[in-house]
A and B are shown apart, each in its own frame.
Chain A
Amino acid sequence: MAGAIITKLPNNYNREVGYISHYHELDIRQLALYDGLILDYTDQQGCVNLLRQCRSSFIGTLYLLPIFIYSIDKNIDPIAESLSDGVVSSLQVEGVIGKIDKIRNKQVNLAAIDSVSPDIRIMTKVLRFLYTRETRLTPVVNPNSNIGYFYPILSEHYKNGDLSELFKILDDGIQKEYLRPRFVDRLHLCSNCYSGFINFRETCPKCNSADLVTENLIHHFVCAYVGPEHDFHSGDYLVCPKCNRMLRHIGVDYDKPSIIYNCRNCSHIFQEPVMEAFCFNCQKKNPVEALIDKQIYSYELTPIGEETAINGFGREIREEFELPGFITFTTFNIFLKYEVERAKNSGRISSAGSLILSMSDEDRNRMGPGYRKLAGEIADFIKNATFSTDILSFVNNNTYLIISPDSEPTRLQNLLENIRQSVHKLLLSNLVGYSFNLVPKVVTISSDKNHSDLINQLITP
Chain B
Amino acid sequence: MLYTFWEDFFYYIEHEGFIRIINLFWYYFYIEAPRFLVFDLIILGVVLFTSRRKQKVYERARYELLAENPLVSVIVPGKNEGKHIYKLVKGLREQTYTNLEFIIVDDGSDDDTYIICRNLIENGMIDMYLRNEERGGKASAANLALRYARGKFVVHVDADTSFDRDAIERLLIPFYVEDNVGGVGGNVKVRNYNDSILTSLQAIEYLQTISVGRMVTSYLGIYKIISGAFGAFRKDVLDRLGGWDIGPGLDGDITMKMRKLGYKIRFEPKAVSLTNVPTNLKALSNQRLRWSKSLVRFRMRKHSDVFVPQANFNFSNFFAIFDNIFYNFILDMTWWFYLINLIINNIDFLMFIIPLKFLIYTTAGYIQFFVSMALSERRSQEWKLFIFVPLMTLYTGYYMRVIRTMAYFKEIFWRSSYYDAWNPEKTSRKAMEIGI
For the complex, give the distance between the alpha carbons of A428 and B426 in Å.
70
Evaluate contact between B147 and A226: CB separation under 8 angstroms: yes
Partner of B136, one of A241, A257, A270: A257
For the complex, give the distance between the alpha carbons of A270 and B137 in Å.
20
Interface of A is mostly: loop
- Which residues of chain A are near B134, meaning CB under 8 Å? 219, 255, 257-258
Partner of A225, one of B242, B429, B436: B242
- Which residues of chain A are near B147, meaning CB under 8 Å? 226-228, 231
* Beta-carbon contacts under 8 Å, B210-251 to A: 242-246
Chain B nearest CB, measured from A271 CB (Å): 6
- Which residues of chain B are near A226, meaning CB under 8 Å? 132, 136, 140-141, 143-144, 147
Report the contact-size class of chain B (Cβ under 8 Å from the partner).
Answer: 20 to 34
Chain B nearest CB, measured from A299 CB (Å): 41
Among residues of A, the one whose C-beta sits closest to the C-beta of B105 is A226
For the complex, give the distance between the alpha carbons of A243 and B143 in Å.
13
Q: Digitize A207-237: 1 where CB-to-B-CB distance is under 8 Å, 0 elsewhere.
A: 0000000000101011111111001000000
Partner of B133, one of A221, A257, A272: A257
Chain B nearest CB, measured from A392 CB (Å): 54
For the complex, give the distance between the alpha carbons of A375 and B306 in Å.
90
- Which residues of chain A are near B427, meaning CB under 8 Å? 221-222, 224
Evaluate contact between A271 and B129: CB separation under 8 angstroms: yes
- Which residues of chain B are near A270, meaning CB under 8 Å? 121, 128-129
For the complex, give the distance between the alpha carbons of A260 and B131 in Å.
9
Q: A205-B121, A243-B242, A257-B132 are in contact. Are A224 and B143 (CB under 8 A)?
A: yes
Q: Digitize A226-262: 1 where CB-to-B-CB distance is under 8 Å, 0 elsewhere.
A: 1110010000000001110000000111010110100
Among residues of B, the one whose C-beta sits closest to the C-beta of A251 is B426
- Which residues of chain A are near B143, meaning CB under 8 Å? 224-227
* Beta-carbon contacts under 8 Å, A255-314 to B: 255, 257-258, 260, 269-272
Among residues of A, the one whose C-beta sits closest to the C-beta of B436 is A222
Evaluate contact between A255 and B426: CB separation under 8 angstroms: yes
For the complex, give the distance between the alpha carbons of A272 and B242 in Å.
26
Is B430 engaged at the interface, CB distance under 8 Å to the other chain? Answer: yes
Evaluate contact between A225 and B121: CB separation under 8 angstroms: no
- Which residues of chain B are near A271, meaning CB under 8 Å? 129-131
Q: Digitize A349-376: 1 where CB-to-B-CB distance is under 8 Å, 0 elsewhere.
A: 0000000000000000000000000000
Among residues of B, the one whose C-beta sits closest to the C-beta of A257 is B132
Chain B nearest CB, measured from A298 CB (Å): 40
Among residues of A, the one whose C-beta sits closest to the C-beta of B135 is A257
- Which residues of chain A are near B121, meaning CB under 8 Å? 205, 270, 272
Q: Which residues of A contact B (CB under 8 A)?
A: 205, 217, 219, 221-228, 231, 241-243, 251-253, 255, 257-258, 260, 269-272
Given contact pairs A217-B132, A224-B243, a sample of 10 additional A-B residue pairs in the complex whose CB atoms are under 8 Å apart? A219-B132, A221-B136, A224-B137, A224-B244, A227-B147, A255-B426, A257-B133, A269-B128, A270-B129, A272-B118
Return 13 A-B CB contacts under 8 Å, by A number. A205-B121, A219-B136, A221-B426, A222-B436, A224-B136, A225-B243, A226-B132, A226-B143, A252-B430, A258-B132, A269-B128, A269-B148, A270-B129
